[in-house]
Amino acid sequence: MSNTFTRRAALLGATAMPIAAEAQSRPRRIVISSANQNRGGVHCCARAMELLKSGADTLDAVIAGVNLVELDPTDHSVGYGGLPNEDGVVELDASCMHGPSRRGGAVGALRNIKTPSRVAKAVMEQTSHMFLAGEGALRFAKAVGFPEEDLLTEEARMAWVAWKKSLKDPSGHNNWTPGLDAPPEKRGAADQKKAQVLRELREMFPHADEEALARAWNYAEHPTHGTINCIALNEKGEMSAVTTTSGMAWKIPGRVGDSPIIGGGLWLDQDVGGAGSTGLGEENLRVCGAHTCIENMRHGMTPKEAALDTLRRVVRNFNADMEKLAQVDLHFYVLRKDGEYCGASLWDRPVPGAPMARLAVAADPGESREEDSVWLFERK
C-alpha cells in the first residue's frame, strides 16, 4: 500500500481522517511519477524535487524531470529511443498543465523533436491554442527553436525490423522475409519463426550482441505503451503535471493515445489535485481517466479510492470479461493538493512475470524512491 494516509487510517481503525489534521505532518514538497525503466521515475522525481527546492516553478520542475527520461535512449516508451510506428518513424505525444495559471498545452504525433513535453509547454505559453498535432506541431516546434533530430536509435530500429519480420499472412508469407523461391524452411511453429527472424537480424545488425537481439524480439512480441507521468506540489500549494510518451509501438502513423489528451492522460486542478496515466491509452480514453480521478476526489474520495474507482469503470466497459481485461495494462498516478498520493494499476504487473506495478516518489525531506502501487487484480 503506497500511502501514509491509508496506512495511518488503517492503524487507527479509521476509514477517513480530516485532511487539515493530516496535512500538518505531510511533506511540504512532493513529486510523484510513474516508475519507468532504469529507475527513470526515481531520477525524474529527484530532479524535479531539486528544482522545487531551488524555488523553481512546479511546471518547470516536472518538465525538467521528464526530460531526463525523454532524452534517455534506453527507455523505449518515451522520447528519443522510443519504439516507432508501423512505418519505422518515432511519433511522440505529450501534455502539460500548470496549476497556478490553470492553463495547459499538448502535442500529438510529433516527429523529430526529442523533448515533446517542452513543445507542449511552448504551445501553452506562446500560443492561444491548446493542442497541436502532426506536421503543424513540428513546424511550430522548429519555429520556436527546437532542433530537428532523428529519434530512431539502432536498438529501436532493430526491434522494428524484428516486428516487421515476425508478421505473416495466413499462408506464412511476409514481404520482409525471403521470397517464395527461397530454399524451403519449416514454417508454423513459433520457435522456428523466432529462430528465423533472429538469424536474419544477425545478418542485418552484425554488431548487435545476442542480448540486444533477444530484446528486439521481445519488443516485437510484446510492444510497449509505456509513458512517463509526473506531478508536483510545492510548499505554496501550487501544482503542475506532465505526461509524455512515444505511445503504442508499431501504431498506425498518426495514432494519438491518451497522453496528450488533457482530461485523459493528464488532468490537474490545484484546488483538488493532479492525475495522470500510463498504459493502454485507448482504454483510458474510454473512461476519461485522469479527469475522472480528480472529480472522484472532488467528491470526497481519497486518491486510492479515486484511482481504483476509475479502474473499475474500465472493468465495467468489458463487462468484467477477465480474458479481455488480461490484455489491458493501465495505471493511474494521483496526487492530492494536501500531498496524499497513490499509484494504482489494473493488474499487479503489466504482463505475467514482469516486475510489480510501482510508482516513484520524492517527498521532502527524503530521497526519491520507488513504492508499490495498489491494484485491482493479480496475474496468475
In the complex, minimum distance from the CB of residue 18 to ligand GLY, in angstroms, rounded to a whole number: 35
Our CB check for ligand GLY shows the closer of 265 and 350 to be 265
Our CB check for ligand GLY shows the closer of 41 and 339 to be 41
Neighbouring CB atoms inside 10 A of 24's CB total 7
* 227 tagged catalytic: yes
Q: Which residues bind ligand GLY (CB under 6 A)?
A: 225, 227, 245, 247-248, 257-259, 265, 278-281
- What secondary structure, in 3-state letters, does 11-74 show? HCCCCCCCHHHHHCCCCCEEEEEECCHHHHHHHHHHHHHHHHHCCCCHHHHHHHHHHHHHCCCC
Our CB check for ligand GLY shows the closer of 117 and 278 to be 278
Among 83, 79, 73, smallest CA distance to 218 is for 83
Tell me which of 153, 177, 224, 227 is the catalytic residue: 227
C-alpha distances in angstroms, 379 versus 35, 352, 359, 375?
A: 19, 6, 18, 11
Are the C-beta atoms of 228 and 243 separated by less than 8 Å? Answer: yes
Our CB check for ligand GLY shows the closer of 241 and 280 to be 280
Q: How far is CA 174 from the centre of its chain?
A: 32
In the complex, minimum distance from the CB of residue 365 to ligand GLY, in angstroms, rounded to a whole number: 32
Among 196, 219, 206, smallest CA distance to 84 is for 219
Give the pairing type, strands 103-110 and 92-98.
antiparallel
Residues serving a catalytic function are: 227
